[in-house]
Chain A
C-alpha cells in the first residue's frame, strides 16, 4: 500500500515538473540571445566581439589572406574555415572588389544575425552588385571608369613609385638577409662543434644508463620470476581450497540427503506413534468396558449368591438358638445401651443384639439386603468402616463369620483396629458361623486361607498379644467355635 502510494506520489511529481517545463519552454524565446562561448580551441584573441561599428577603410587596408581574415573577424566574429578562405581569395582573384567581398559577408544570414555596421559599405556594395548585372553593369562601369581615368593614372604612378621603393627596400632586405645568413652559418659551425662534444658526453652517459637499465631489467625479470612462482603457488593453493570446498560441499550434500531421509523416517515414526496412541486409547476404553462388565457381572453373581445363601441360612434350624446364646453371653460382658459394631453377620444377629438393649451399627458391603429391616445399616466394607471409627468410641464389636473378615484383611490388622476403636473393657465377639456371606464366598470359589479358617485353633495368647484379656471359647451347642474377650484397660 505504501509502495503504491509512493509511486503515485512520484508520478504526481513528474507531472508537476512536466507542467513547469512546458511553462518554462513557452518563455524561452523571450530570453535575450546569448553570445555563444567558443571552446578554448576555437577562441581567437584577434576578434573583438564587442565592436560592431567600422569604417570601410578599417577593413580594406589589408590585402589578400589578411583581408579575408580581418573581414571574417569583424563581420562574422569568427575565423574563416579553409574552404571559406579559398572561396574569397578566388573571388578577389577573379576581379571582385573588396567592397563586394565585405558586402557578401555583411549581408549573409550569419552577418545579418551579428549586425555589424560598416560606414560607407552599403553604396559601394550596391555599386559592385550593379556592375554584376549584364549590360547595365557594363553601361554603368564604362563611364565611371572613364571618369576615373585621371585618378587611376595618378594611382598607377603612385603604384609605380611604391613598387620601385618596394624593390629598393627588398634589395636592401636581401643584402641584410645574406649578411644575417653568413653570421648564422658561423654560429651554426660553432654550435655543431659544441654539439659534437655534447653528443660524446651524452653517448657516454647513455651507455652508463643503458647498463643501469639492463641491470634494472634483469632485476625485474627476477622479480617477475618470483611473482610467477608465487602465482603458481597461489594457483595450487586455490586449487586445493577449491577441491576442499567441493569435497565439503559434496559431504554436506550427502549429509543433507541423509538428514532428509531421517526426517522422512521421523515423520513415519511420528505417524505410527500417533496411530499407536490412538489404538492404545481405544484399547484402554475397551479394557475399561470389559472391567466394568466384569465388575457388574461379579456384583450380580455375588448378589444372587447372597440371596441363595440367605435362603440356606434361614433353613439352618440351630441358628436361632445358637445366636440367642451368643447374644446373651455378649450382652453379659457389655455395658447398658452399648454401642456395638456388627459385621460379617446376618441382620437377624443385629436384631438379636438390639433386642437386648444394644445400639447396633450394622455394616455390610451388600447393604441392599439389610436396608429393609429398619436398623442402622451402613453400606461399606467392614474393615474400612472400622478404620473410620474414632478411638475408643465403641462398646463392642461382634462378627458371626470372622473367617469372612480375614478373607479381605489380615487377622492381626483386624485385631489392631478393633483394639483402637473399642473402649477399655469393651467386648469383642468372633464366631465362625456359616453366615450367608461365607456361604456365598464358598459358592463364588473364594477359598479361605487355611490359617484364617481355623478359628478353633486360635489361642488366648494370640488375643493377649493383640491387647485383649479374658479371651475364652463360647462354642455353640452344635460345636460352632466362638471367642469372647474384652479390650484390656489402658
Chain B
C-alpha cells in the first residue's frame, strides 16, 4: 500500500519528527511503500511531490498536525486517497500572550484549524492521547473515527545507549531534580523554580536542578523572565542548564536524577515522562493535559504546583525506597504495555487495516 506521511517540518529529535520518522519505519517494516513529505528536514521529499501519491484512491495520507499550517490543510482538501490525521495537540495561545505575539498568532491559527480539519471528514483521527481526542470530539467528529495511539518514540534506543560517565560523575550528596523540555511558557519553568527554591530552603540546601532544553530566540522576553526569577531566588549556582545534549548525556541526566519534575500546564502526551518511566526514574507531575494519562499511576501526580507539595514529594521519594521501587515497576509496566515500539507498530497496523 502506498502511504504518504506529511509533516510541516521533519525534525531529527523533536517529538513530532520522531513520531513521523518512526511511524514511517514501522509501516515500511510491514511492507508498505512509505514516503515522507515536509517543507524541511533530512530525508523528506518536497511538498509538491505528494500529489502523485494522494491522487491514488487506494493510497493513504497521514498528516501530522501540531500547529497551524495552511499548506497541510490544502493537501488534505485535494487528496483523493484515504486520509488520516495524526494529532499531537496545539498549545493554547493564552500561554504565549504575555511573551510572544508571533507564537500567540501561530497557536491561535492552529487551534482554529482543529475545527477546519474536523469538517474535512477524514477517515481517521489518530490522537496521541485521550486528552487530544477530546479536541476532536468537541468539534463533533464521530467517536468511531477517533483512535488513541501514543507517539512513536526511541525509548528502546535510549535504554540501550550507554550513559555519559562525566555527567554521572557530577552527582552530589543533595537531591537532583530533572526537568526535560524546551523553555516555553506552557512548560511552567517559573513554577518549577519556585518549587525548587522551596526545597533548597526547607529540605536540602545542597541540591541541584538539571534543566534539559533549549531556549527559543523568539521567546526572549520569556527567557529574560526566567533568568530574573533564577536571580531573584538565588538559584544561579544550583541550576545546571543543559542544551543540545545527545542521547548519551540525556540518559546520564535521567540516571543521575532523583526525580523528573514536570509542572507543565499543557501537554498532548509528554515524551519525557515516558523516557523517565523507561529508565526507572520516578516522576512528579502536575495533573494537566495528558500527563496523568501518560503516567497512569506510575508517578506522583498533583492537581497543584504548590512548591511545598512538590518539595515534600521529592523529599519522600528520596527517603522511601519502597515507593521508588513501586513507581519504577509501574513505569516499566506502563512502557511495556502501552509505549513499546512493537505495541505501537501493531496498533498502527490495525488502524491502517481498519480504514475503509
Contact = CB atoms under 8 A, between A and B. Distances in A.
B61 interface: no
Interface in A206-257: none
Interface string A1-17: 00000000011011001
Interface string B196-238: 0010111111101000000000000000000000001010011
Interface in A57-96: 78
A24 B205 contact: no
A109 to B, nearest CB: 8
A18 B234 contact: no
A38 B315 CA distance: 19
A31 interface: yes
Given A25-B308, A39-B172, A11 B320 contact: no
A37 B205 contact: yes
A309 to B, nearest CB: 91
B237 A42 contact: yes
- The A interface is mostly helix, strand or loop, or mixed, namely helix
B356 to A, nearest CB: 37
A243 B351 CA distance: 38
Nearest to A42: B237
Contacts of B174: 37
Contact of B234 (A24, A29, A110): A110
B306 interface: yes
Contact of B198 (A28, A42, A109): A28
A39 B208 contact: yes
Nearest to B232: A109
Interface residues of A, number: 27
B312 A21 contact: yes
A183 interface: no
A66 to B, nearest CB: 23
A28 B234 contact: no
B202 A20 contact: no
Contacts of A38: 237
Contacts of A21: 300, 309, 312-313, 316
Nearest to B231: A81
A22 interface: yes
B312 A25 contact: yes
B309 A25 contact: yes
B277 to A, nearest CB: 15
A279 to B, nearest CB: 49
B189 interface: no
B316 A41 contact: no
Contacts of B200: 34, 36
B156 interface: no
Given A17-B323, A36-B234, A24 B316 contact: yes
B177 to A, nearest CB: 15
Interface of A: 10-11, 13-14, 17-18, 20-22, 24-26, 28-29, 31, 33-39, 41-42, 78, 109-110
